[in-house]
């Protein structure tokens, strides 16, 4: 079985808040065009780990890291890397939908595209439509692109945030519990969407929901108390985990 | 059954208490407004808004000079006070832990509690005493000094109300820090900041004490900001403390005009912001 290119990887990554270690010495790699789930009980460090991947962690109070995070072989914490430029290559979607309340649906999707250059109107229209289609939202909002983003349901808002994240064509999309605040219908649509998105992006998704990890991901990594306990193909993690803690967690004995 | 009746009684009693509180809170305001209308409206006429005062003893005349004066002084004060206040508020909200922000916040709280006459005396020493003459500019500075801490604290509180998740969403999209602050955070908080600024402008428009030693007041129409200038609160003060019956009636009418000006300002600015915001849809 030929492994695809190791797109995004961490090497002995340790994430700290001041003197507190949230993530200890994690080495992982995420191949291109795969969905990679990070699971584990609350406070296990999986969200912190995710936030080191696009340098959001360093914006938290006292956040700093040791070790290395590479995107296409380049150290993203290198001195020449601008965090702003980096975050346009590694997008992120959060637990709660965060549409910009003062902007229309259209402007929300276009927000990331307007940072750098002013695209011609026609081109911008095209990217907005493409992104909304990719996020499976186009049919629902095409007649009210100028309407407020706050008028959408929670699930629609989350898909709008996904459209906004993928509009600038990042290489990697990080999803931090994207369905935690949604109802089952909204959750299902996001899961289907994640499956579609891996054709164009490398995806890392943090989830509390183990069925979700099993349904959508190619690889699964189990975190516990800030350490990476086990990683492997999702099927193997869920059917034949090698570590006792992993088995205890996925069978629901703790966490 | 008895419990239910008892609960309903308790509920009615509590609602009654709240109604009493509302009435106690609103009654004095209504009483003041009613009193102003009863005593002032009879002296109001088109002349009162458009004409200049006449010498004591004669009837007729108006307070056009004071309306213009108030608009100029409060307008100038807003030009100085609002940008500084809003800017300082943004700074304190964006860098809340810094020593400078803590000191600024503390000073603003102290200044918010400072009697306005103290600010007037301060502006007098700083500007009037040095220039050796009273001026509208000095009055505007005094009013701006009152405005700044109010606007600053409201701006800071309103920016803090914007959820942290919005800031993170913008940063994760690759927004630079300054653009996150301006086009996401500030824009989300803007309607509240506008309302807060309006309240501050309206409040300072009614201030008398800081103008007594600065703008001084005048009987003439003036557009020179480096000279003494009339203002509505000063005119109320002059007329109310004057010896003539006619002046006392004018004092009521002028007070009514002051309230009208403040109300019109608030409504106009509120309409303007509402239209702009819904226009963005």
Q: Using CA atoms, how far apart are residues B179 and B171, in angstroms rounded to an integer?
A: 9
Q: How far apart are the CA of B147 and the nearest CA of chain A, in angstroms? A: 27
Per DSSP (E only), the strands in chain A are 6-17, 20-31, 35-39, 63-71, 74-75, 90-93, 172-176, 202-206, 219-224, 227-233
Of A59, A94, A104, the CB nearest to B165: A94
In 3D space, the residue among A175, A2, A171, A212 whose CA is nearest the CA of residue A87 turns out to be A171
Cα→Cα distances B114→A182, A194, B109, B110, B173, Å:
50, 59, 9, 6, 44
Q: Tell me which residue has tokens 């009208």.
A: B260
pLDDT of residue B278: 46
Percent of chain B with pLDDT over 90: 45
The DSSP code for B47 is H
pLDDT of residue B275: 54
Q: Tell me which residue has tokens 């653009």.
A: B179
The answer to whether residue A125 is domain-embedded is no
In 3D space, the residue among A82, A125, A117, A108 whose CA is nearest the CA of residue B183 turns out to be A108
Residues B171-182, mean pLDDT to the nearest whole number: 92
- β-strands A202-206, A35-39 pairing: parallel
Cα dihedral B260, B261, B264, B265 in deg (nearest 10): -150
pTM: 0.81
Higher pLDDT, B120 or A252: B120
Compute mean pLDDT per 10 residues along chain A, 255 residues long, and list them. 66 93 93 94 91 93 92 90 92 94 93 82 90 92 92 92 94 93 88 90 92 93 93 93 90 74
Q: What domain range includes position A63?
A: 6-99+170-250
The answer to whether residue A104 is domain-embedded is no
Residues of B near A (CB-CB distance < 8 A)?
A: 163, 165-166, 168-176, 179, 184, 187-188, 190, 277, 280-281
The answer to whether residue A134 is domain-embedded is no
Cα dihedral B199, B200, B202, B208 in deg (nearest 10): 150
Q: Which of B164, B168, B172, B277 to mutate to test the interface with A (most CBs of A within 10 A)?
A: B172
| Residue numbers in A near B173 (CB within 8 A) | 87-88, 91, 111-112, 115, 164-165, 168
The torsion angles phi and psi of B242, rounded to 5 degrees, stand at -75, 170
Q: Using CA atoms, how far apart are residues B2 and B25, in angstroms rounded to an integer?
A: 35
CATH number of the domain located at residue range(s) B48-280 in this protein:
1.10.3720.10
Q: Is A117 helix (H, G, I), strand (E, B) or coil?
A: coil
Percent of chain B with pLDDT over 70: 95
Residues B180-199, mean pLDDT to the nearest whole number: 89
Contacts of the segment B273-280: beta carbons below 8 A, 24+ positions apart: B273/B190, B273/B191, B273/B194, B273/B195, B277/A102, B277/B190, B277/B191, B280/A102, B280/A103, B280/A104
With 0-12 / 13-18 / 19 or more C-beta atoms within 10 angstroms meaning exposed / middle / buried, residue A81 is middle
Instruction: Give the start-to-end residue ranges of the domains of chain B.
Output: 2-43, 48-280
Contact at CB, A91 and B184, closer than 8 angstroms: no
Residues B21-26, mean pLDDT to the nearest whole number: 96
| Residue numbers in B near A100 (CB within 8 A) | 166, 169-170, 184, 188
Please provide the average confidence, as pLDDT, over all residues in chain B: 88
DSSP sequence for B89-152? HHHHHHSTTSHHHHHHHHHHHHHHTS-HHHHHHHHIIIIIHHHTS--HHHHHHHHHHHHHHHHH
B276 has pLDDT over 80: no
The neighbour count for residue A162, using CB atoms within 10 Å, is 27
Residue-wise pLDDT tens digits, B66-111:
999 999 999 999 999 999 999 999 999 999 889 999 999 999 999 9
Q: Using CA atoms, how far apart are residues A142 and A159, in angstroms rounded to an integer?
A: 14
Q: Using CA atoms, how far apart are residues B10 and A209, in angstroms rounded to an integer?
A: 46
Contact at CB, A56 and B168, closer than 8 angstroms: yes
| Residues B62 and B53: beta-carbon distance below 8 Å | yes
Q: Which residues pair with A30 in a beta bridge?
A: A8
* DSSP element (H, E) containing B39: helix B2-40
- β-strands A219-224, A202-206 pairing: unpaired
Q: What is the CATH number of the domain that holds A15?
A: 3.40.50.300
For the beta sheet containing A219-224, the strands, ordered from the edge strand earlier in sequence to the opposite edge, are A74-75, A63-71, A6-17, A20-31, A227-233, A219-224, A35-39, A202-206, A172-176, A90-93
Q: How many folded domains does chain A comprise? A: 1
Q: Using CA atoms, how far apart are residues B39 and B249, in angstroms rounded to an integer?
A: 7
Residues B130-152, mean pLDDT to the nearest whole number: 92
State the Cα angle at B65 between B63 and B66, rounded to 5°: 70
pLDDT of residue A2: 37
Q: Using CA atoms, how far apart are residues A202 and A114, in angstroms rounded to an integer?
A: 23
What b/e sequence results for B255-274 when a residue is b if at least 16 CB atoms lie within 10 Å of its CB, and e otherwise? bbbbbbbbeebbeebeeeee
pLDDT of residue B56: 72
In chain B, the residue whose alpha carbon lies closest to the alpha carbon of A56 is B172
Residue-wise pLDDT tens digits, B55-71:
777 777 888 889 999 99
DSSP sequence for A161-218? HHHHHHTT--SEEEEESTTTTS-HHHHHHHHHHHHHHTTTSEEEEE-S-HHHHHHH-S
């Amino acid at each position: 079985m030929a492994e695809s290119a190791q797109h995004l990887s961490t090497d002995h990554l340790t994430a700290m808040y001041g003197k507190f270690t949230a993530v200890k010495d994690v080495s992982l790699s995420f191949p291109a065009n795969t969905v990679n789930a990070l699971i584990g009980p609350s406070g296990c460090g999986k969200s912190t780990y995710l936030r080191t991947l696009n340098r959001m962690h360093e914006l938290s109070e006292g956040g700093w890291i040791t070790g290395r995070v590479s995107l296409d072989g380049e150290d993203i914490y290198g001195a020449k890397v601008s965090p702003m430029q980096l975050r346009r290559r590694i997008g992120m979607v959060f637990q709660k939908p965060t549409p910009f309340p003062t902007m229309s649906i259209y402007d929300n999707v276009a927000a990331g595209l307007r940072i750098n250059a002013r695209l011609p109107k026609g081109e911008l229209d095209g990217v907005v439509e493409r992104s909304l289609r990719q996020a499976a939202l186009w049919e629902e909002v095409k007649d009210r692109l100028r309407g407020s983003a706050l008028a959408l349901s929670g699930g629609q808002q989350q898909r709008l945030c996904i459209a906004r994240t993928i509009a600038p064509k990042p290489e990697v999309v990080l999803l931090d519990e994207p369905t935690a605040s949604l109802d089952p219908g909204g959750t299902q649509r996001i899961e289907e969407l994640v499956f579609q998105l891996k054709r164009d992006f490398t995806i890392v998704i943090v989830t509390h929901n183990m069925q979700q990890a099993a349904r959508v991901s190619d690889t699964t990594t189990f975190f516990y108390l800030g350490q990476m306990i086990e990683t492997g193909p999702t099927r193997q993690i869920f059917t034949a985990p090698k570590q006792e803690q992993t088995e205890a967690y996925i069978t629901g004995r703790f966490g | 059954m008895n419990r239910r009746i008892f609960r309903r009684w308790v509920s009615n009693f509590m609602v009654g208490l709240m109604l009493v509180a509302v009435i106690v809170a609103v009654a004095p305001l209504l009483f003041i407004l009613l009193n102003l209308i009863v005593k002032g409206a009879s002296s109001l006429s088109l002349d009162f808004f458009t004409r200049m005062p006449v010498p004591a003893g004669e009837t007729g005349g108006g307070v056009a000079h004071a309306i213009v004066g108030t608009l100029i002084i409060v307008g100038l004060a807003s030009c100085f006070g609002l940008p500084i206040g809003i800017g300082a508020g943004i700074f304190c909200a964006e860098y809340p832990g810094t020593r400078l922000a803590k000191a600024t916040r503390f000073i603003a709280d102290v200044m918010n509690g400072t009697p306005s006459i103290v600010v007037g005396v301060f502006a007098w020493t700083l500007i009037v005493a040095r220039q050796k003459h009273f001026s509208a500019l000095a009055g505007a500075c005094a009013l701006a000094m009152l405005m700044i801490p109010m606007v600053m604290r409201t701006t800071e509180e309103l920016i803090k109300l914007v959820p942290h998740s919005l800031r993170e969403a913008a940063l994760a999209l690759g927004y630079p820090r300054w653009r996150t602050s301006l086009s996401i955070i500030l824009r989300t908080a803007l309607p509240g900041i506008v309302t807060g600024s309006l309240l501050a402008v309206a409040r300072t428009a009614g201030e008398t004490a800081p103008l007594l030693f600065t703008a001084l007041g005048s009987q003439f129409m003036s557009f020179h900001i480096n000279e003494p200038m009339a203002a509505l609160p000063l005119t109320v003060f002059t007329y109310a403390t004057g010896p003539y019956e006619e002046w006392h009636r004018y004092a009521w009418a002028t007070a009514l005009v002051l309230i009208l000006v403040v109300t019109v300002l608030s409504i106009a600015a509120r309409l303007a912001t509402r239209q702009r915001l819904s226009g963005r849809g």
